[in-house]
Structure 1
Amino acid sequence: MPDRSALPRSNAPWRIDPGRAALLVHDMQNHFVGRFPARQPPVVDLVGNIVALRELAGALGLPVVFSAEPTVRRGLAADVRWPAIDDGPGDAAIIDALTPRPGEHLLPNARQNAFLRSHLGRLLREEGRDQLVICGVYAHLGVLLTAADAFMNDIQPFVVADAVADYSAEEHEMALRWAARSGVVCTTDDLLRGLLLGRNRSDA
Structure 2
Amino acid sequence: MAISSIATYPMPEADSFPEGKVDWKLDPNRAVFLIHDMQAYFLRFYDQDSELITTLKRNLADIKAFCHKHDIPVVYTAQPKDQKPEDRALLNDMWGSGLNDYPELQPVVSELTPSKQDTVLVKWRYSAFHRSNLQEMMQSWGRDQLIIGGIYAHIGCMISAADAFMRDIQPFVVGDAMADFSEDEHEMALKYTAGRTGRVVSTQDVLLSAKSHAQASTLTFSALKSQILELLDDDDVPDFEESDELIDYGVDSIQIMSFVTQWRELGIDVTFAELAQASSLNGWWALVQSKQHKEVIE
1:113-159 C-alpha deviation (Å, 9 max, x unpaired):
10000111111111110000000000000000000000000000000
Name which of 187, 190, 210 aligns with 1:173. 187
Higher radius of gyration, 1 or 2: 2
Residue aligned with 2:32, SS: strand
Name which of 203, 220, 233 aligns with 1:188. 203
TM-score, length-scaled by structure 1: 0.95
Q: In the alignment, which residue of structure 1 is the partner of 2:294?
A: 203
Deviation at 1:36, TM superposition (A): 1.1
State whether structure 2 residue 138 is matched by structure 1 residue 124: yes
Structure 1: gaps of 5 or more residues: none
Q: In the alignment, which residue of structure 1 is the partner of 2:153?
A: 139
Mapped to 2, the partners of 1:103 and 1:82 lie a distance apart of 33
Deviation at 1:90, TM superposition (A): 2.4
TM-score, length-scaled by structure 2: 0.66
Structure 2: gaps of 5 or more residues: 1-10, 218-292
Asked whether the equivalents of residues 17 and 199 of structure 1 are also in contact (C-alpha less than 8 Å), the reply is no
Residue aligned with 1:80, SS: helix
Q: In the alignment, which residue of structure 1 is the partner of 2:178?
A: 164
Query: Which structure dedicates a bigger proportion of its chain to helix?
Result: 2
State whether structure 2 residue 110 is matched by structure 1 residue 96: yes
Mapped to 2, the partners of 1:19 and 1:142 lie a distance apart of 25
State whether structure 2 residue 29 is matched by structure 1 residue 19: yes
Runs of 4 or more consecutive aligned structure 1 residues displaced over 6 Å after TM superposition: none
1:139 aligned partner, one-letter code: A
Deviation at 1:199, TM superposition (A): 4.3
2:31 aligned partner, one-letter code: A
1:6 aligned partner, one-letter code: S
Name which of 66, 72, 82 aligns with 2:76. 66
Residue aligned with 2:130, SS: coil
Mapped to 1, the partners of 2:212 and 2:97 lie a distance apart of 39
Mapped to 2, the partners of 1:195 and 1:180 lie a distance apart of 22
Mapped to 2, the partners of 1:78 and 1:70 lie a distance apart of 14
Indicate the larger mover: 189-198 or 46-55.
189-198
1:167-190 C-alpha deviation (Å, 9 max, x unpaired):
100000000000102211011011
Asked whether the equivalents of residues 40 and 105 of structure 2 are also in contact (C-alpha less than 8 Å), the reply is yes
Q: In the alignment, which residue of structure 1 is the partner of 2:57?
A: 47
1:72-119 C-alpha deviation (Å, 9 max, x unpaired):
251111111268213343211101011111111000111121000011
Deviation at 1:29, TM superposition (A): 0.2
2:146 aligned partner, one-letter code: L
Asked whether the equivalents of residues 32 and 83 of structure 1 are also in contact (C-alpha less than 8 Å), the reply is no
What's the RMSD between the two structures over aligned residues? 1.5
The 1:82–1:139 alpha-carbon spacing in structure 2 relative to 1, beyond 3 Å, is: farther
